[in-house]
Structure 1
Amino acid sequence: MTNAIVERHESAPVVASNSSADILPVIMQLASNPQCDLDKMDRLLAMHERMSAKNAQTEFNASMAAMQCDIPSIAERGEGHNRKTYATLEDINDVIKPIMQRYGFAMSFRVEHKAEGVSVTGVLMHRAGHREETTMLLPTDTSGGKNAVQAVASSVSYGKRYVMCAMLNISTRGEDDDGYAAAPVATITEVQAKAIRELLAKCKPETQDGFIKMYGEPEMIHKADHDKVRAQLSKAVQRDQGAAQ
């Protein structure tokens, strides 16, 4: 794929930050007054929106900076033309999505057909309300004898991979690159996660906090760690219940 055009955009948050709540009582008090000065109300509302936007962007930047430390290089397990390897969209999602969720991020895509090819826009959203966008314009990939539908699908997949890597600063490595590349890791089932959650609910708050710091949500526990984690939690429940008697 060549001749790709990337554009970066920023948009205002859609959710107000709680740190701008100090001005809300003033706005509410003005709104309840029949003789309210509408110009003053408009200025206060505009100030509230600016404060909300600034606070949301600050939270976005702080979470992004913290998340960067946890994002690994992704193993290149896909193979394209001339035996060139690349990280597949599926592998990127499997590795990155749990990390994004932990830091309050989510990503969606918009796809548009244009005269020049296919436009893929990635929208990175944060729980504080701030969001950022990056757009990549690609020609349709007709290599390898693809038909029209396959050409568009290939370009869309390519665009999603590169937009996601660009927005999150994701790097990729060969799968056998000294063990530094991350491949998707199987996680526990929903039934196992439910059982872990029930055990966790019986533990003391300190134990619960320690679990969250180490594993995040029960659904993020690696399959290979299930038995060990369950045994540790069962022992913690017995210890906590014994101390309470």
Structure 2
Amino acid sequence: MFWLIRQFNIANSEDDMDVTELEFETPALGDGFTFHVMIRCTPVAGGRRRQGGIWGDVKEERAQAHEVARQVVREVCRRYSAFSPREAEVETSKSILSAFATHSTLRNRWSVQVYVNVSEDVRSLQREAQIRQHKIVSDAEEDALRLRKVQELAEISGGFLSSATGHWITRYAVRLAQHPEEAGDVVAQLLDERQERAERLVKLVNEMADAHQQAGIFELVIASEGALRHALKQLGVDVPPLESDSIFADAEFLP
């Protein structure tokens, strides 16, 4: 029993040494490109052939396995595009398994794994195509982001401008935000402009009253002037005194 175990281990050791790998190029569909193929042939444990008390020649079996595998790979790969290595690999593996199962010498003797990859030429083309595709996607995402930001900025700007149209002091607020160190000058100019606006308004009302005194609406103008001056005082605007020759000089205004 000990002798048999020793012989079995030696046989396994020899089988392990018979594992081989083949790498080669084979034509793809149309013969314009090729596939890069790697075949791994491994002896099946306990499957060594023996005829008439003599062990079969391992080298001869290995050569037969290589030849059958090459033929199957070449035949199958020529039916597939060079850009479809996965499909070619699946079909090649099935075909080799079937060929070995029906071969009188190789049946139950060898295990074969097939790896089909694109050639370097095809890989270079695929790399360039993927780079172009990535650039298209990246550019589209960048454009979409830019448009979203422009839209957000337009909405913010629209709201700002809408609010600015109803407030004459907005330009001072913007100046103050841009140059806070000039707060004193900004406030002084704001107050001066407000005073000038009030004076121009009072003067305009006086001129309108002069123009309409003979039109029978003198009392209405006087009432409007009084209400206007009272409103300006409530807002904290210094209202200039009436001129001595103004038509409002002797009029009584609203409190």
Q: Same fold (TM over 0.5)?
A: no
Q: TM-score interval w.r.t. the shorter chain?
A: under 0.3
Q: Which of 1 and 2 has greater Rg? A: 2
Greater helix percent: which structure? 2
Greater strand percent: which structure? 1
Q: TM-score, normalised by structure 2?
A: 0.22
